[in-house]
Amino acid sequence: MNGRIVPANESATISEDQLACEYKRSKFKAEGLALEFFTKQGLPVVIVNPSAPVGPGDVKPTPTGQIIVDFLNRRMPAHLDTGLNWVHVRDVAVGHILAAEKGRLGERYILGNVAGNWTLQETFAVLEKITGVPAPRHQVPYWLALGWAEISEAIARFTGKAPQATLAGVRMARHKMWFDPNKAVRELGLPQTSPEQAFADAVAWFRANAYVRGHKN
């Protein structure tokens, strides 16, 4: 709208062919099936759609947590022109409970943060402030990131290790994934812990649990 990105809300539509990987397609199909059970059989269905959760306890870590771990370990030499809606993982957990208690049947609720729509460059600037680790200054063009992802996946097939970049991840990053969670805030009372606090909590947990090279508790 006038060159400005308008964060998507629950009324936004998307087609399956716009999704970057089978995982996302499976979630898309599962949501459609759940709504079908609601409309045709009257099952009590309420759907929640978390945005990009970060916070403590990210054992695996998840893809969003891995961004923080890679940043802390200085494995982020550059960034893409993309964006995410960051939300504290505890707010997402509470949002699931609130949706079960207060959600209107057949409705969807985005579990995100109203102030959480950041570019990746803005995200790294906040992490630099929290951690003291210098943020990457260079932006990688999309075509170069896509080529590196192809190489990374080819190497991973031989080594058995996770690729440093994936084609699905790069394709998804082509668009800023910004969302408007006001419906969940208004109807459910979704908490709105600041994204800065979410990152601070995540950083403290990763450091305390030996995810950062050379960091001692």
Q: What is the pLDDT of residues 158-180, one digit of tens each?
A: 888 777 767 667 777 777 899 99
Q: Using one digit for the tens of pLDDT, what is the confidence trace for 85-131?
A: 999 999 999 999 999 999 999 999 999 999 999 999 999 999 999 99
Instruction: Assess if residue 78 is contained within a domain.
Output: yes
Residue 98 buriedness (CB in 10 A; 0-12 / 13-18 / 19+): buried
Residue 61 lies in a domain: yes
* Angle, alpha carbons 47-193-211 (nearest 5°): 95
| Across 205-209, average pLDDT | 97
Total Cβ atoms within 10 A of residue 121: 16
- Does some domain include residue 215? no
| Segments forming the whole domain that contains residue 116 | 21-208
Domain count for the chain, please give it.
1
pLDDT tens for each residue of 44-96:
999 999 999 999 999 999 989 999 999 999 988 888 889 999 999 999 999 99
- Report residue 181's pLDDT band, with 50, 70 and 90 as the boundaries: very high
